[in-house]
Amino acid sequence: MRPNACLLAPLAVFFAISTLTARADTFSYTFSEGHLGHDAFTYTSPTQILTTTTFTPTTCTVQASQACSTVSFDIAGSASSLIIDVAAGGADSFNGLPASFFTNIGVNTAFSPNTITLTVTDIPSGVPEPSSLLLLGTGVLGLAGAACRKFLAA
């Protein structure tokens, strides 16, 4: 009966560790137009936006008072654009932006004709990556195996 208990303990530890979910970094996007807070939005994405994408922002205002429905990043080289769709109809567009305006992490500024700023922030995950979990799991299994040998020898 003792050998079975020694086998079950490491397996239980292994399955407990393997059920932890690993999560990659998230990215925060904060946009503002320098003209008296004319247009602004915030959005948190599970991945960095590198291609043309449409999303529903967390918070968004157009012309300082109207709500918006969606935001589109049309990333196409030097002719990229940002389009904020107004919930009541219509849209505000910022055209002729470089692709780097959307893809660079940090504060990105352009003039269209007012100063517009898109801040892209990489938010590191607090959860270890899968390889770290695997390393921890094999260490715990090794310790459990060593303890099991000492327990059987006694």
pLDDT of residue 4: 56
Q: What are the pLDDT digits (tens) for 117-150? A: 999 998 887 765 677 777 888 888 888 888 888 8
Q: What are the pLDDT digits (tens) for 66-78? A: 889 999 999 988 8
Q: What are the pLDDT digits (tens) for 87-124? A: 888 888 888 899 999 999 999 998 867 788 999 998 88
Can you tell me the mean pLDDT for 74-83? 88
Arithmetic mean of pLDDT over the chain: 81
CA 124-29-76 angle, 5° bins? 115
Top-confidence residue, 29 or 124: 29
Can you list the pairs that 40-45 forms with residues at least 24 positions away whose Cβ atoms lie under 8 Å? 41/68, 41/71, 41/84, 43/71, 44/123
What is the four-CA torsion angle of 133, 135, 139, 144, rounded to 10 degrees? 50
Instruction: For tokens 């938010």, name the residue.
Output: 123
Top-confidence residue, 25 or 7: 25
Above 50 in pLDDT, residue 49? yes
